[in-house]
Amino acid sequence: MTVAIQDHPGVEHIERLLAGGAPSPMAADLLDSIGVIDPARACRNLQSLALHPAFPRNDRDFLVQLLAALSETFEPERALSNFERIMATREDPDALLRLLRRYPERRAALFTLAGGSQFLTDTVLRHPEFLDWLLRPSALQGERSESRMEAELWRWVQRLRTQPNGPSNALRRFRQREYLRIGLRDLMRLADMPQTVLALSHLADATLEAAVRVARAELEARYGKPLYRSKEGRSLPCEFAVIALGKLGGLELNFSSDIDLIFIYSSDEGGTRGATGRDHISNHEFHARLARRVIALMAENTEEGHVFRVDTRLRPEGDQGALAYSLRSCEVYYESWGETWERQALIKARLAAGSAALGKAFLDMIRPFIYRRTLDLSALDEIGHIKDRINAQIAASGRKASNIKLGEGGIREIEFIVQSFQLIYGGKEKFLRTPSTLEALSVIQALGLLPMDDCAALSSAYIFLRDIEHRVQMTQGLQTHDLPADAHALTVLARKMGFHRTGGMSERTGFLAALQNHQDQVSRVFQNLFRKGDSEEAGRPAEEEAPAAAETLEDSLAPADLAPYNFADPESASARLRLLRNGEPFERVSARAKRLFDNLLPRLLFLTLDLPDPDQAVVNLSRFVERSGGREGAFTLLSEQENVLEALLRLFGSSDYLSESLLSQPGLLDSLFQAEALTSSKAAGTLQKELSAEALKGSDAAQRFARLCAAKRGEELAIGLRSILGEADIFQTMSDLTSLAEAVLAVGLRVAEEEVRGLHGSPIEAETGQPAGFSIIGLGKLGSREMNFGSDLDLVFVYSGPGGTDGKINGKGAAWGSASNHQFFLRLATALRDGLSAPASGERAYEIDLRLRPEGQKGAIAVPLQTFEDYFRDRAELWERQALCRARPVAGSPALSRRFMGLAAEFVYERPLPPNLAAGIDHVRLRMERELTHEAEGEIDLKLGHGGLTDIEFLVQYLLISHGREKPAIRRPETAEALRALRAAGLLNEEDADTLLDTYRFLRQVENRLRIARAQPLHTFPATPEGMEMLARRLGYSDDEEGSSRAKLLADYERHTQRVRAIYRERLGLKKRA
């Protein structure tokens, strides 16, 4: 290559460039010939480099050497830029240039580094001394043993021990230096993939061993040595071991892996012992602190970065478990609660640091748990389900096609294939019990469990994919498994993988073809192993053998052909449907999945004809398929269960809010379509029991409220879908939503009460010495059992009276000691309100409105019963009598609730009527219409506007207050039931009562369809014609020769509200308006 460059006329042009001349086409041609992708950028880099005082601008031989070195790099532009930066950091750049002139192999090493990894180059820029070490002849020769690395690292630790953060810095700097050596050996192909992952794993083990030694010495200096008593009664040292899983456990670490660890110790029995005056702590506390210190030494980010990120979620009980476990605790856990995924994870368990004897004891203990004596074919199904969940997660992230680890045909599928054979046959075949993927594949082949060709294909694919993983991660030091989306970066990656331009094929094209071939081979073996039950594919032609079906579909999805299906944007719908069938670019969609979609399409399009928003239905269907774990499975479900397809499309085209509930919790689908889930409401007791069981899965109040709020969304989804499908009318829907709110309040109250009792003990009434009571009174829509989507909860909290708590919980002192009843119930009310309306998870259940309590926002949120009595007697106003017409107990003490309702009934119904009752009610009503609506500007407000819901509610409240004393039967909090009672009592004639009931049903249904889309407290009609048309379609209106759906809706609304306003004014004895 040097000879070809020497003779190229472009060399002279580059010399001119270095002397200050302008870039020329000939210079660009030479740069292109040596692999430069962006010659203009390379010219700028050369000009910048020439400005460096030490650079030999007039040395043609060095220029040719430089260009030849660049021709061998993966990314010449980056190599030039980084070489310039390296020169700038050198105290003696001339010495470096002399070295590069004299030793071609060191020149090749430097430019391979500079053009192959920004991450590693940045390390030598921060630590120029590392480059001097790296360019020594011995640095890149041969592999280093773990013991050699351990010994050298410990010398570094000892040397820096007295400095601030000395051990921590020693670990980080040693890791950085070793990464340079290992990474450059990998880029220069001086080490193959198995050698590279082994070296990285040995480095991690060495740093862990040093971290354990440092941390243990620190803790023993403070607390003494931990001891335990053996069964024979001897006092023995309590040992500590670090168990590696995942990539580190398999000695397969990559350049940006987390290290998955479990920390174990010998026994919980005992504690530390040492010199007088030291603190003594239990073995558990000592080793939990030891684990935390090891994690800090390894994973804490300092000015020197971190050593390795540490992940401890694979330990017993995961995030909820202790950080360190005794050997016996591990044994009990795995015997009692261990699951298949944990067996799978523990296949790779290996001692990484600490006590060899304890590590061996742990591995011996878990072996029977991992490897069953009998063939365990059930593992196939369980591992298949795990992979399905991974597919769903990565599909939801939008990275399925580009992810070489988790995508189809990726690293994870190879590992799952291997681990399946290990779980099934490992109990009988001990040579399968290896944490190494490649070793296990060799054994699988030797045992004849897979054909030789399949094992060879999997091994080759594994090495190829892991090589890609290293090169992707080494570029910037990021924890990624995605192929670069940028064409330039993909070309550079292809070069790093050994691909070159050949004939008319670019490096990138050759690389992607090889990658596709490896992924196809892996996917074929994986599908054969995990999907053998799917016999429909057998004997069917391959995709390339049946192009006609695809062509027909492409034709039928043209935007013009979608025009009859009411899509607002046929072009977007066409693109979305094509994407739904064919997947993202680079995504492989099976032939069967495409055939299933082709068969689904006619029915899918037919069903969109009746949807309020077919465009959004297609968008949400696409999101559903992406999150369901694979197109084939989703299309199979929708093909085999037509009712599911119709229900989902109706949901997706009617309510974004409810659609999001399903999309965020795909697991709801199974329960949603169980028998009776969409045809009948749940009994109140069943609902409360199920919500309580779900909430109690949380370990503390915050988690329980989070689970309760999420479960509420699931139940609300079922209620909404019944409404959308016409399985429940508006009154049943409101009743179901109200029952759900009551159940959530009851469960939430128990959670909050348990939390506050843990702080203060139980509240006692001072006057009676009996337990104090607490009740939740529902008002507004909750009180009248007329909840809608997005409704607030109007509540008042009442407690029985003064007193204090006993300061005890389960016979012991409470955490915060005793408190007054006022403090207790204030904290209880606050905990309940915040848990449901502002939970830590961000998933709130309801907006809670407490403004209807005495003194409104100025008053305490929890109020004693006597305060209510005084307030009702002395200060309450007419509007509060109206509000209390809908008061109803919804949770808490039945006895206290009865006492409160007695006071409320006396206030509402027994007090003398004000002489101007009708005028007073109408005055408030007209102010609301005038000040809270914009109907004068053309807005339509179905709640507060002319003849709207408030007209009906105020009329009912007027009649209840006027006649409730002599006719107790009419005292109903539900508006519709009160109307029926008023009709039965002769206070409304049949015609007026029927008109009001009919309009009330109509307006509530309109409100339902307004709110179901977004779950917001909307009560005004959309301002745009398009929004009105969509609302009309949600309500079942359609365009025909009699008029548009929008016009029909508006005509019905006008007819209903005019009649209501007339009845309202007549019944209140008011004159007609001019």
Task: Transcribe 756-775 into DSSP letters.
Answer: HHHHH--EEETTT-SBPPEE
Residue 544 is predicted with a pLDDT of 31
C-beta separation of 780 from 795 below 8 A? no
Distance CA 781, CA 794 (A): 8
Chain-centroid distance of CA 11 in Å reads: 55
C-beta separation of 817 from 807 below 8 A? yes
pLDDT in tens, 221-248: 999 999 998 877 789 999 999 999 999 9
pLDDT in tens, 810-827: 655 555 678 899 999 999
How far apart, in Å, do the first and last CA atoms of the chain sit?
100
Quote the tokens at residue 188.
């220069």
Tell me how long the chain is: 1074
Give the class (CATH, top level) of 914-1074.
mainly alpha
Residue 391 is predicted with a pLDDT of 63
888 DSSP β-pair partners: 778
Distance CA 531, CA 416 (A): 13
C-beta separation of 614 from 653 below 8 A? yes
* Domain residue ranges in the chain: 2-116, 187-370, 372-533, 914-1074
Quote the tokens at residue 915.
């002489």
DSSP category for residue 906: I
Number of H helices, E strands in the chain: 46, 17
Report the largest interatomic distance among the alpha carbons of the chain, rounded to a whole angstrom: 115
Cα angle 88-94-95, degrees, rounded to a multiple of 5: 110
172 DSSP β-pair partners: none
- SS percent in the chain: helix, strand, coil, step 5: 60, 5, 30
C-beta separation of 600 from 645 below 8 A? yes
Give the class (CATH, top level) of 372-533.
mainly alpha
Residue 344 is predicted with a pLDDT of 87
Distance CA 165, CA 127 (A): 18
Distance CA 673, CA 386 (A): 22
Cβ–Cβ contacts within 10 Å for residue 198, how many?
A: 18
E strands within 780-930? 793-799, 803-805, 808-809, 812-813, 848-849, 862-864, 888-892
- Fold equal for 372-533 and 914-1074: yes
Question: DSSP 3-state assignment of 481?
Answer: coil
Cα angle 469-473-478, degrees, rounded to a multiple of 5: 135
Quote the tokens at residue 843.
């998933």
C-beta separation of 796 from 768 below 8 A? no
Distance CA 614, CA 1034 (A): 11
Quote the tokens at residue 384.
């298949």
Could you say which residues of the chain have pLDDT below 50?
Answer: 3, 532-554, 1073-1074
Answer yes or no: pTM beyond 0.85: no
Residue 188 is predicted with a pLDDT of 92
Residue 384 is predicted with a pLDDT of 63
Give the class (CATH, top level) of 187-370.
alpha beta
pLDDT in tens, 513-550: 999 999 999 999 988 877 544 433 333 223 232 223 33
CA of 271: how far to CAs of 225, 277, 630, 847, in Å? 8, 15, 52, 51
864 DSSP β-pair partners: 799
Choose among 917, 920, 913, 905: nearest CA to 971. Answer: 905
C-beta separation of 543 from 594 below 8 A? yes
* Continuous segment of H or E residues that includes residue 776: strand 774-779
DSSP category for residue 275: S
Residue 795 is predicted with a pLDDT of 95
